[in-house]
Structure 1
Amino acid sequence: MDARRFRIRRSAAALTAFLCGLGLLLAACSSSSTGTREKEGSTTRAAAPKAVRAVDDLQDGYLEVIKDVLPSVVQIRGRRDLGSGVVYDDEGHIVTNAHVVGGEKTFRVTTANSEDELTADLVSSYPQQDLAVIKLDSPPKGLRAARFGDSSKVEVGQIVLAMGSPLGLSSSVTQGIVSATGRTVTEDGRDGGGTGATIANMVQTSAAINPGNSGGALVNLDSEVIGVPTLAAVDPSVGEAAPGIGFAIPASTVRTIAGQIIEHGRVVDSGRAALGIVGRTVVNDEYRAAGVAVVSVQEGGAADRAGLRRGDIITRLGDTDITTITSLAEALAGEKPGDETTVTYTRNGSRKTVDVTLGEQ
């Protein structure tokens, strides 16, 4: 506000109006009789305990959730990287992010209620979805598995808690809400701390997600893990994390991938659509991204069956314009294996369109 335009009117009427606007609880701002003021004051006093009780109930709810879930959230240390994980079952399986485990095979794990370091080995990593499972060599007595919720019931506005080890501070908790659902997000590559994966149906949250939170738990007030915090948005104008914008892999995806890794030792059914190509972004005469050039075609894959070949430049998938390899990955993230779509491409300067039945990544 411009201080030069702000003037305080010292009249009694203006001062009274100002106090009324503040909603002071000490006295009602009214010219009514004393009896009316007393009635309004008693109503305010009666309402105050209800508000206090509501706050106390919410705080008690937070404390109960933390008591229920935090023992299931662990800190994971490799030789170089540090992150978080969630106990998946009482056999000692722990789910985390693929970028937390990186290329390592053995880890040191600290649980929330102990300073003792446990050892764990990698079961399998699935970088395409940025998920991995490790297993404790000797699960301690009383190890508590987390309860994973139903992703279809996650709604914008729900209060959530993010639990993990940001910056190495184990058993930390932050609070926020679900800001959006169904986000498709592409991570940075290894230099940016991620796997470069494009992940669909992410849960967006305002709960703080800092380095070290990755692989932890995003929890609702029913003590259910609704997602695995994975990354924070980066403001491209400053190259730093954008406050209050973080993303978590939904619980349904976590259960699907972790369940397959535990049962089969690897992912056997990703549910991720694929064209079956290796591609790279190409630019036009103005040095602007203009499509994805096909570098190689997987034999027998979707692109091969549709007749695409090396040198073709893909510019559209279905109704989505394709300008970069990231935009192609994001378009495919919204599809399923077996879906039928069209691919628009150029070959030797001629524009063509072909029907494609998508394969599986």
Structure 2
Amino acid sequence: MAGTWLLGTGVRDDARRPRAVLVAVQQQEPAQDGAPGTPASLAELRRLADTDGLAVVDEVVQRRGRPDPATFVGSGRADALATAVQDGGADLVIADGELTPGQARNLQDVVGVPVVDRTALILDIFAEHARSSEGRVQVELAQIAYQLPRLRGEGRALSRVGGGRMAGGAGIGVRGPGEMRLEVQRRRLRQRATRLRADAVQLARRREMARRRRLRNQVPAVAITGYTNAGKSALLNRLTGAEVVTEDVLFATLDPTVRRTTVDGHAFTLTDTVGFVRNLPHQLVDAFRSTLEEVTRSDLVLHVVDASAPDAFGQITTVHGVLQEIGAGDLPELLVLNKIDVAPEEWVTALRRAHPDAVPVSALTGEGVGELRIALSAYAKLATRPDR
């Protein structure tokens, strides 16, 4: 796997990539496309797995009203999943949704390989892509928040192996090694989280000082945001001449990158921020809240949309939902329809019809970037007015 948190393989050779089977529960009633278990959500889960260095060999979907509380998909479908794992030589099962500790443990007992959920997969990708000190701190905090409640299930299993309460109702002082090990793990994780939160506060203070300097200099701040892999970093490079690394993978950028540029004599900063995704784990939103303040404290949100994505409208809705969640929903927004060089013309037309103020561009070829600069210049003039 790309990271070391889940499997620790670190394999990158396509011929030797760990194999995974995806499993999902599709609601029997009509669901909004992009909800867990729908084709759009499964397609995205496949891309997430590929980003994390996994080869998806099969998908198993169960249609039911709600996930089974014991095995997520129910006993019959769990057996079918075990067959798919065996036939595909899979090393891992990934659930399109968040599993309870009991569901993960029970399903793993049936299929015979590790079972993780969408949240764990995204956390693993974030761990691989975090480069800055702040990014690594935030990802580890999110991992701890995810792991702590899941130690309960492991504790019960360890207690069964090591003892637990003795006959006659004996309690503290005679607990088995499994229960004691569980307490040690919890204490270490909580202590580590306390240290990380202190580090995060110090790093946030440094970023706040940089923000204040920009305010003193009356430099408007523009936050580039949007769905993951929409081309935000490529657009930053095109507008500023920066050389931010761009990759055709999900979550290539986790650490905010701030660049200053000038349009028609008006200076402003452009900040490239982490991309969003459907069902973004709440642990990540909480851990990255200080970094996402780069968005909440901006003068303008430059919302980049991949116009070539079949579910572009759904991605726009997802991003707006996250912006609302972090308190940036009421900020001025300029919608940018990127990748028009590869997007079907009718898709771009439909997006422009729904969002008439959007600016169509191609960060790759430069098409439309001139119009975008004019729009940015207008916002910069407004932001620096004496009466503002």
TM-score, normalised with respect to structure 1: 0.27
Larger radius of gyration: 1
Indicate the structure with greater strand content: 1
